[in-house]
Amino acid sequence: EAQVTQNPRYLITVTGKKLTVTCSQNMNHEYMSWYRQDPGLGLRQIYYSMNVEVTDKGDVPEGYKVSRKEKRNFPLILESPSPNQTSLYFCASSSWADSGNTIYFGEGSWLTVV
C-alpha cells in the first residue's frame, strides 16, 4: 500500500528541547515536502526536496531544518522549538513521472511546544 508515514503523530514538548519528526514514503518518490497548518489557514510550505541531497526553502523555513540522505526519508528537525511552532505538520511526496502531479500526504503530526 502506498504510504507516507510520519512519527510521532502527537507530541507535547518543552521550549528549547530539540526534536525530530520523521517522514518516510514507500513509493520511491523523488519529491518530498513539509507543511505546517494552523487553525483557519491553509498549508504553508516549510521545506521541500527535489531528490536526495537536494533541499530548498519553502515559505516558512525559519526555525526548521531538513535533510534528505535517502530517497525514502525526509526528517524535519526543530533545533530549539518555540511555542509559535505549535502546529499540525504534514509531510508529502510526489513523483516527477506523474504528469497529474498527485501529491500524497502523511496523516499529520500534532506538535505542541509549551
Partner 1 sequence: GQSLEQPSEVTAVEGAIVQINCTYQTSGFYGLSWYQQHDGGAPTFLSYNALDGLEETGRFSSFLSRSDSYGYLLLQELQMKDSASYFCAVRANAGKSTFGDGTTLTVKP
91 close to 72: Cβ distance less than 8 angstroms:
no
Residue 74 within binding range of partner 1, rule CB under 8 A: no
Nearer to partner 1 among residue 79 and residue 107 (C-beta): 107
Minimum gap (Å) between residue 87 Cβ and partner 1: 14
Among 5, 45, 86, 112, interactor with partner 1 by CB under 8 A: 45
Site of grid cell 526519508: 73
Residue with Cβ nearer partner 1 (42 or 69): 42
Size, binding site for partner 1 by CB under 8 A: 25
Residue 48 in the binding site for partner 1 (CB under 8 A)? yes
Residue 97's Cα: distance from chain center in Å? 21
List Cβ neighbours of 66 (8 Å cut-off, separation of 6 or more): 34, 46, 47, 49, 55, 74, 75, 76, 77
Answer yes or no whether residue 40 interacts with partner 1 by CB under 8 A.
yes
Cell triple for 11: 507530541
- Among residues 108, 103, 90, 107, the alpha carbon closest in space to that of 31 is found at 103
Stretch that binds partner 1, among 7-15, 21-29, 50-58, 74-82 (CB under 8 A): 50-58
**Cα–Cα distance measured from residue 102 to residue 68, given in angstroms and rounded to the nearest whole number:** 21
Between 31 and 81, whose beta carbon lies closer to partner 1?
31
Q: Note the residues at the interface with partner 1 (CB under 8 A).
A: 31, 33, 35, 40-45, 48-50, 56, 58-59, 90, 100-108
